[in-house]
Amino acid sequence: ALEQLDPAVRAALEQAIERVRAASAVQVPPPTTTTLAPGALVHQRWQPVRRVGVYVPGGKAVYPSSVVMNVVPAQAAGVKQIALASPPQRGEDGRVHPVILAAAKLLGVTEVYAMGGAGAIGAFAYGAASLGLDPVDVVTGPGNNFVAAAKRAVAGRVGTDSEAGATEILIVADDTADPRLVAADLISQAEHDEQASAVLVTTSMGLADAVQAEIGGLAAQTLHAARIEVALTGPQSAIVLVDDLDAAVDFSNAYAPEHLELHLADPAAHRFVHAGAVFVGPYSPVSLGDYLAGSNHVLPTGGQARYAAGLSASTFLRPQQVIEYDRDALAEVSDAIVALATAEVLPAHGEAVRARFTA
């Protein structure tokens, strides 16, 4: 598959790998040691999970970029075993799409399964002996609402990233924004899926009207015009007029979009705290983040950006504390340990400490 890959696509994938690898490398925290007293040490180290299952969707489109976005951070974290699943393709005799296979080859991933949707998530979580698939420790990757529901169902048995469901874009813009660019960016995300959400929040009625007019012309020219029309006319998409920037900030933070674009004279990006990723200015479109910004495009949807983050090396790392006290350091706190153990009516806790200082 790699030998047959379009050279331009291969070069683009290699560039994306390089950029995401550079951004992921700095996400791995160094080990630390805290000295609480002489001889009283608490170390913190970061352990990679052993085995990861990466899901790469492939229903309405093919996403080699998702191979990069999932595999590279796992490799940066030090994960040793990575399995990949992507839906079988009718035109490929039930095999994984060759572009997905080529991307996996570029990254050295050799364990690849032709399976998709919720079933793939379940197979990762519980294993599939008939396929020789061992269970994984963490499942990551974007997908539709069924994939998101499956992740929710297996959470607890395995770790998961955020439930990256149908894509979302929220654009906050004022009258300085270029309506053609705003319309193009709304359309770019609407072409993912009929359930995609595309929302413009603006203080300018003039901009709202201009964007609406631009959408009509631009959408009709695209390959997926019918899909885009369904997404943009659905209840999940809208143009919202607000009185001022404060109201726009409040709306955005309550919505907590997957992608937030700011087309503002004064972006004030620090005020927009709830978003999977923030794209500032007319030259930072979501499409850049989808492919070559170096950031990750696997992001929380459905309001989860209020408490969840996008995929990164830290998704695959477990902070682990190592406690190391010597005799004098333990003796210094032994009376306090006994006092707390007595208060909690757990006398054996205190005796376990006393035993170290009695013959």
- Whether 192 has a pLDDT exceeding 80, the answer reads yes
Q: Tell me, what's the pLDDT at 142?
A: 85
The dihedral over CA atoms of 304, 308, 310, 312, expressed in degrees to the nearest 10, equals -160
pLDDT band of 271, cuts 50, 70, 90: very high
Q: Across the chain, what does the average pLDDT equal?
A: 95
Question: Hey, which residues are catalytic here?
Answer: 258-259
pLDDT digits (tens, 9 = 90+) for 205-255: 999 999 999 999 999 999 999 999 999 999 999 999 999 999 999 999 999
Q: Tell me, what's the pLDDT at 59?
A: 74
Q: What is the mean pLDDT of residues 270-278?
A: 96
pLDDT band of 187, cuts 50, 70, 90: very high
Distance CA 238, CA 211 (A): 11
pLDDT digits (tens, 9 = 90+) for 1-42: 788 899 999 999 999 999 999 999 999 999 999 999 999 999
CA 239 to chain centre: 26
In sequence order, which residues have a C-beta less than 8 Å from that of residue 92 and are 6 or more positions away? 98
Q: Tell me, what's the pLDDT at 143?
A: 81
- Whether 359 has a pLDDT exceeding 80, the answer reads no
| Planar angle of CA 228, 232, 234, nearest 5 degrees | 115
Distance CA 205, CA 58 (A): 39
Q: Which residue has the higher pLDDT, 359 or 167?
A: 167
Q: Tell me, what's the pLDDT at 106?
A: 97
CA-nearest of 60, 209, 69 to 141 is: 69
Q: What is the mean pLDDT of residues 336-352?
A: 98
- Judged by DSSP in three states, 137 sits in coil
Distance CA 146, CA 203 (A): 36
Distance CA 219, CA 254 (A): 28
Q: 209 is written with which tokens?
A: 């009207």
Q: CATH topology for 168-306?
A: Rossmann fold (3.40.50)
What is the phi/psi pair of residue 132, to 5°? 70, 25
Q: Tell me, what's the pLDDT at 163?
A: 76
CATH of 7-161+311-319, one of 3.10.580.10, 3.40.50.1980, 3.60.20.10, 3.90.1150.10: 3.40.50.1980
In sequence order, which residues have a C-beta less than 8 Å from that of residue 50 and are 6 or more positions away? 79, 80, 81, 137
Where are the chain's structural domains? 7-161+311-319, 168-306, 326-357
Q: Tell me, what's the pLDDT at 62?
A: 87
Q: What is the mean pLDDT of residues 50-61?
A: 90
Distance CA 239, CA 232 (A): 10
* Count of Cβ atoms closer than 10 Å to residue 176 Cβ: 12
Do residues 116 and 150 touch, judged by C-beta distance below 8 A?
no
Domain 7-161+311-319 and domain 168-306, same fold? Reply is: yes
Q: What is the pTM of this model?
A: 0.90
CA-nearest of 234, 278, 244 to 258 is: 278
Distance CA 110, CA 104 (A): 7
First vs last Cα of the chain: how many Å apart? 71
Q: Tell me, what's the pLDDT at 58?
A: 84
- Judged by DSSP in three states, 63 sits in coil
SS (H, E, C) 257-321: CCEEEEECCCCCHHHCCCCCEEEECCCCCHHHHHHCCCCCCCCCCCCHHHCCCCCCHHHHEEEEE
The tokens 């490398």 sit on which residue? Answer: 25
